[in-house]
Amino acid sequence: MYNCNPYQQYKQNSVISAGKGELTLILYDGAVKFIKQGIKHLEEGKIQDVHNAILKAQEIITHLSETLNMEYEISGNLSSLYEYINRRLFEANMKKDKYILGEALGLVVDLRDTWREAVKIAKPLIACGQ
């Protein structure tokens, strides 16, 4: 299907051409976006929109957890962290608690920023075949 919206077409092409590192970064960005939306909707009193935004963030965190390569020791730590984030998102959704959403947001932002730096470091190494 052809998309006439240039921004949507750019986003779609970015995802299609992204490597694994960039895809993970896109997922982190999505989780951050949806948690921020949840906070905004909570402030506006849009309860159903809060719920929907948090569910989308949880789906992303669940996907990140399910796609971990458990051959690496760090994957176990990440799995535990993803599980914690999802529990906090669930709790924030049940209680409609802005503080808990802020905590989850901080954790996901830290993960995203760390991943962004790792991708920057890895790009030259991958390009050189190391």
Domains plus CATH for the chain? Answer: 19-127 (1.20.120.340)
Q: Which residue has the tokens 């790009």?
A: 123
Whether the pTM exceeds 0.85: the reply is no
pLDDT in tens, the chain (130 residues): 455 676 455 445 444 445 888 999 999 999 999 999 999 999 999 999 999 999 999 999 999 999 999 999 999 999 999 999 999 999 999 999 999 999 999 999 999 999 999 998 887 655 445 4
Q: How far apart are the first and last CA of the chain?
A: 38
